[in-house]
Amino acid sequence: MKDLPNLTMKGKFDHFIQEGITVLKPNHDEVAKLHDAGQIPSEFGSRIWHSSYLLIHYLSKLDLSSEQNIVELGCGWGLPAAYIQKRFGAKVLATDVDSQVKYYQQLITRVNSVVVPFFQRSFSQLALDDLSDIDLLVGADVCYSPTNAKRLAELFYHYMKEVNGEIILVDSGRRPFFHLVDEMKQTFSLSLNEVKIDLPTRASGYILHLGKH
């Protein structure tokens, strides 16, 4: 009998499956090899945060197109970016200020047989870039400080004014995130909804969705 896929973070397994994407746990041999090689993230990229699973759950309900160009902000291990590429075939770019997360992000892409380029970029740097060909920005747990909220606001204003695309941001419910929401709703059409999941772990948070949807 074929083994059933492991769908939960719990237990001794070194990986699990969420919405068809393979997720590696910290006890996976390939993850341990990166640590042993000294490739250790410094900007909160040492693990996959629960909001990434919330984001994937939310994205699974959307009808994204393979023709879209999508950027994941503060990607860390880049799980949502890998999911988008695998599920929808869209063109995805993973970005993060921490160059060390690239090794984990590329490991996730290899395990899932997808191609997602990594681009080292801060929110402030992205706000200066030409984003005219980007249809959607996504991010999970990236608004964790007042400084980040300010930089995200600058990026979002730049992007929405220049492109009028879409932004999907997921957060566990931090105060800077809600401050960002309050600022954005003064200018842009948006929705804010609570989301909960039971698998691969019990988690809850909030989805900010700006733009056409």
SS (H, E, C) the chain: CCCCCCCCCCCCCCEEEECCEEEECCCCHHHHHHHHCCCCCCCCCCCCCHHHHHHHHHHCCCCCCCCCEEEEECCCCCHHHHHHHHHHCCEEEEEECCCCHHHHHHHHHHHCCCCCCEEECCHHHHCCCCCCCCCEEEEECCCCCHHHHHHHHHHHHHHHHHCCCEEEEEECCCHHHHHHHHHHCCCCCEEEEEEEECCCCCEEEEEEEECCC
- Where is average pLDDT lowest: 30-39, 102-111, 125-134? 30-39
Q: What mean pLDDT do residues 167-183 have?
A: 97
Q: What is the pLDDT of residue 124?
A: 96
Class of CATH domain 15-210: alpha beta
Q: What mean pLDDT do residues 68-92 have?
A: 97
Q: Are 49 and 76 in contact (CB under 8 A)?
A: yes
Q: What is the pLDDT of residue 9?
A: 84
Is the model's pLDDT at 46 over the cut of 70?
A: no
pTM, rounded to two decimals: 0.94
Residues 187, 102: Cα–Cα separation, whole Å: 34
Is the model's pLDDT at 97 over the cut of 80?
A: yes
Give the position of tokens 């990434």. 52
Q: What mean pLDDT do residues 61-81 have?
A: 96
Domain boundaries, the chain: 15-210
Binned at pLDDT 50, 70 and 90, residue 45 comes out as: low
Q: What is the pLDDT of residue 3?
A: 66
Q: What is the pLDDT of residue 85?
A: 98
How many Å is the Cα radius of gyration of the chain? 17
Report the share of the chain in percent with pLDDT over 70.
95
- Where is average pLDDT lowest: 30-44, 74-88, 170-184? 30-44
Is the model's pLDDT at 1 over the cut of 60?
A: no
Q: What is the pLDDT of residue 213?
A: 63
